């Protein structure tokens, strides 16, 4: 089977499963999704972030709630970058088997940590004054729920009370934390891409059947052209997400730039797409029952989380002074 065929199969299964209900930890483990990036020797699938990205996109499409983002994307991702010790290996194995629900804070004691209330264990990226970052592993204790407008996300403020265990990154810790942030940003871009696709499809379907003035509203240019603009946003976003995922999997030196491009563009585009979906659904779209608001709220949260579009654009623009110096008209690139 080619990678594309594998992804198609994974996507089909994910769409079926997630379309019915939000899977819990045991179901996620049974599906094999928690251990996608865990080595086979530790009961995982030995796959890559590319497969995780497929699941994430489908979770955005279904506005799935639950432990996947915190345990698999942030948790297994963090553990994978730590020095391999027997404790770490044991924890990775438990993650793959669905025996441990993780929560990760990349910003020390922080106000908005995913899934911290329900987690069995909390990994906190901390740093000594003047030193590099390391990870503190604590049995989750003090997590104060922080409800947000997007009801599909479970966030909390965490405070570390016990000392916990100190675990070290396997290589350059600053680079490792940067890569963890890139992974989180791209994960949200995948989610936003999936929810944009769902909103575009729902809007096109609605515009094809909803009649006003004696004809389907999708036959009016004002509606049709708005849908066309949504497709352009989704099409470009898909390319940027694909490029960012590939760059992360290949551990490309420019992966951070690709991640920021995907997060900046798709994070913003998803809000535009979901907002236009609400507009084109008319009064129906504004009702609680329509669920369009679920998508719009999730898109709005995704846009803000792990770096706003403006913050990511600032990272992208940090390269411009050196680019400007090297760009007399005879200089070659890339």
Partner 1 sequence: MTDLEDFRASVREWCRAHVPSGWRAAQTGAPDDDFLAFQQAWFQELRSAGYAVPHWPAAWGGGLPVPEQAVLYQELAAHDAPRLVLAFVAIHHAASTLLGAGTDEQRRRHLPAILDGEIWCQGFSEPEAGSDLAALRTTARRSGDGYVVNGQKLWASWALHADWGLLLARTDPEALERAGISYFLLDMRTPGIDVRPIRQATGESHFCEMFLDDVVIPATNLVGEENAGWGVAQATLGAERGMTMLELAERLATGFRWLVAASPLDDPVVQDRLAGFECELAGLRALCRNLVERADAGRAGPADASIVKLHYSELLQRMTGFGADVAGMEGQSVLAKPASSGWESGAWVLDFIGSWEWTIPGGTSEIQRTIIGERGLGLPREPAAAS
For residues 295 and 303, what is the distance between their CA atoms, to the nearest angstrom? 12
If the CB atoms of residues 1 and 310 are measured against partner 1, the closer one turns out to be 310
Q: Does 41 bind partner 1 (CB under 8 A)?
A: no
**HSE-up (13 A, CA, CB side) for residue 9:** 7
Q: Does 227 bind partner 1 (CB under 8 A)?
A: yes
Under 8 Å CB-to-CB from 264, ≥6 apart: which residues? 309, 310, 312, 313, 316
Q: How far is the CB of 227 from partner 1 (least distance, A)?
A: 5
Q: Does 225 bind partner 1 (CB under 8 A)?
A: yes
Q: Does 20 bind partner 1 (CB under 8 A)?
A: no
If the CB atoms of residues 16 and 327 are measured against partner 1, the closer one turns out to be 327
For residues 24 and 32, what is the distance between their CA atoms, to the nearest angstrom? 12
Q: Does 307 bind partner 1 (CB under 8 A)?
A: no
Rg (CA), the chain: 21
Q: How far is the CB of 242 from partner 1 (least distance, A)?
A: 7
Q: Does 218 bind partner 1 (CB under 8 A)?
A: yes
For residues 162 and 160, what is the distance between their CA atoms, to the nearest angstrom? 6
Q: Read off the tokens for 53.
A: 């990205």
Q: How far is the CB of 195 from partner 1 (least distance, A)?
A: 18
Query: Considering only residues 46, 83, 239, 291, which one is a binding residue for partner 1 as defined by CB under 8 A?
Result: 239
Quote the crossing angle between the two packed helices 49-61 and 221-249, to the nearest 10°: 150
Q: Where are the alpha helices (DSSP H) in the chain?
A: 3-20, 25-31, 49-61, 68, 77-80, 86-96, 173-209, 221-249, 255-280, 282-285, 292-304, 309-317, 320-325
- Considering CB under 8 A, how many residues would be counted as binding partner 1? 46
Q: How far is the CB of 314 from partner 1 (least distance, A)?
A: 7
Q: Does 313 bind partner 1 (CB under 8 A)?
A: yes
Query: Considering only residues 2, 215, 283, 289, which one is a binding residue for partner 1 as defined by CB under 8 A?
Result: 215
**Residues forming beta bridges with residue 113, ordered by sequence position:** 156
Q: Does 213 bind partner 1 (CB under 8 A)?
A: no
Query: Considering only residues 5, 235, 251, 253, which one is a binding residue for partner 1 as defined by CB under 8 A?
Result: 235
For residues 248 and 307, what is the distance between their CA atoms, to the nearest angstrom? 17
Quote the crossing angle between the two packed helices 255-280 and 292-304, to the nearest 10°: 150
Q: Does 1 bind partner 1 (CB under 8 A)?
A: no
Q: Does 2 bind partner 1 (CB under 8 A)?
A: no
Contact, 38 vs 44, CB < 8 A?
Answer: yes
Q: Does 284 bind partner 1 (CB under 8 A)?
A: no
If the CB atoms of residues 200 and 296 are measured against partner 1, the closer one turns out to be 200
Q: Does 157 bind partner 1 (CB under 8 A)?
A: no
Contact, 227 vs 279, CB < 8 A?
Answer: no
Q: Does 314 bind partner 1 (CB under 8 A)?
A: yes
For residues 79 and 72, what is the distance between their CA atoms, to the nearest angstrom? 10
Q: How far is the CB of 230 from partner 1 (least distance, A)?
A: 9
Q: Does 221 bind partner 1 (CB under 8 A)?
A: yes
Query: Considering only residues 146, 242, 252, 279, which one is a binding residue for partner 1 as defined by CB under 8 A?
Result: 242
For residues 72 and 53, what is the distance between their CA atoms, to the nearest angstrom? 11
User: Residue 119, SS3?
Assistant: coil
- Give residues in contact with partner 1 (CB under 8 A): 200, 204, 207-208, 215-216, 218-221, 223-225, 227-229, 231-232, 235-237, 239-240, 242-243, 261, 264-265, 310, 312-314, 316-317, 320-321, 323-324, 327-334
């Amino acid at each position: 089977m080619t990678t594309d065929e594998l992804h198609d199969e994974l996507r089909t299964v994910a769409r079926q499963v997630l379309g019915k209900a939000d899977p819990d930890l045991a179901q996620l483990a049974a599906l094999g999704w928690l251990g996608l990036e865990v080595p086979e020797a530790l009961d995982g699938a030995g796959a890559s972030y590319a497969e995780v990205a497929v699941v994430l996109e489908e979770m955005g499409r279904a506005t799935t709630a639950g432990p996947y983002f915190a345990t698999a994307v942030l948790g297994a991702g963090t553990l994978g970058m730590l020095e391999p010790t027997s404790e770490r290996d044991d924890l990775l194995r438990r993650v793959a088997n669905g025996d441990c629900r993780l929560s990760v804070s990349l910003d020390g004691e922080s106000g908005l940590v995913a899934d911290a209330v329900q987690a069995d264990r909390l990994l906190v990226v901390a740093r000594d004054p003047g030193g590099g970052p390391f990870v503190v592993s604590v049995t989750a204790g003090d997590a104060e729920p922080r409800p947000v407008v997007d009801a599909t996300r479970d966030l909390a403020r965490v405070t570390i009370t016990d000392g916990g265990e100190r675990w070290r990154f396997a290589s350059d810790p600053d680079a490792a934390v940067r890569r963890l942030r890139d992974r989180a940003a791209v994960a949200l871009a995948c989610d936003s891409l999936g929810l944009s696709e769902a909103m575009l499809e729902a809007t096109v379907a609605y515009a094809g059947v909803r009649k006003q003035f004696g004809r389907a509203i999708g036959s009016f240019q004002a509606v049709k052209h708005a849908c066309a603009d949504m497709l352009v946003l989704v099409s470009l976003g898909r390319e940027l997400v694909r490029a960012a995922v590939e760059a992360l999997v290949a551990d490309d030196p420019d992966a951070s730039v690709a991640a920021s491009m995907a997060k900046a563009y798709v994070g913003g585009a998803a809000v535009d797409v979901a907002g236009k979906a609400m507009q084109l659904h008319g009064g129906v779209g504004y009702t609680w029952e329509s669920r369009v608001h679920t998508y719009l709220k999730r898109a709005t949260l995704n846009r803000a989380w792990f770096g706003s579009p403006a913050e990511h654009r600032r990272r992208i623009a940090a390269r411009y002074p050196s680019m400007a110096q090297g760009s007399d008209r005879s200089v070659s690139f890339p």
